[in-house]
Amino acid sequence: MLGPPGAGKGTQAQRLAQTYGVPKISTGDILRDAAAQETPLGLEVRHRIDQGHLVSDEVAIEIVRERLTRQDVSKGFILDGFPRTVGQAEALGTMMAGRGALVVLHMVVPAEVLVGRLHSRRICSVCGANADPSAPEATRCGQCGGELVQRTDDGESVVRNRLQVYDQRTRPLVAYYRSSPTFFEIDGNQVPDRVNEAMQAAIGQTLGATEESRS
């Protein structure tokens, strides 16, 4: 899943994971867990997240490499938040050896739409789940009942900084992957069901081509 903050990667990744029965691997969730711990790495991660910065390639790569050693990824997985740099993409290419096709879904959303989405986004203070965007007046999490709060990195100034960081460091991934036959550009500025349909069509196209090559 490629795309700027606020594009809807997390929501769509969760839906795809449920549809295909594979785990959603979110480096953001893993890093926020680390940030909550009073370890040197956790404190460094928390500082960078609060400032809207990315963690180093080395930290992100090691987190994903360790996660992909677990048994639950044997039938596939959805990556949300990784890779974010060309260096991470190159490392992922090595990790994918022998695992099958890597489908790259690039979500495209206008910048001002992203700012509005992020500034109004809320998460559960207990379980960390994103609030349901279709219920903007809700004050409690639909999953566990915890209080809904704004993420520390979703203030408007931090949001604009995050988008700037994305432009500088992450957009080169589009150029890196664009020539791949399994790269798909998805219009993220439409209702979630339409976005999901486009993603499933792209994945189905790739899986169909893979089956044909084996027969």
Catalytic residue among 121, 140, 160, 169: 121
Catalytic residue among 9, 24, 67, 117: 9
**Is 99 in contact with 22 (CB distance < 8 Å)?**
no
- Per DSSP, the three-state class of 208 is helix
Catalytic residue among 46, 67, 122, 151: 151
Instruction: Say which residue the tokens 């931090």 belong to.
Output: 158
Residue 17 makes CB contacts below 8 A (sequence gap 6+) with 23, 24, 77, 78
**Is 159 in contact with 50 (CB distance < 8 Å)?**
no
Catalytic residue among 15, 67, 84, 117: 84
Instruction: Determine whether 121 is an active site residue.
Output: yes
Catalytic residue among 15, 24, 122, 162: 162
Instruction: Determine whether 70 is an active site residue.
Output: no
Residue 211, CA atoms < 13 Å, CB-side half-sphere: 6
Instruction: Determine whether 162 is an active site residue.
Output: yes
Which amino acids are annotated catalytic?
A: 9, 84, 121, 151, 162
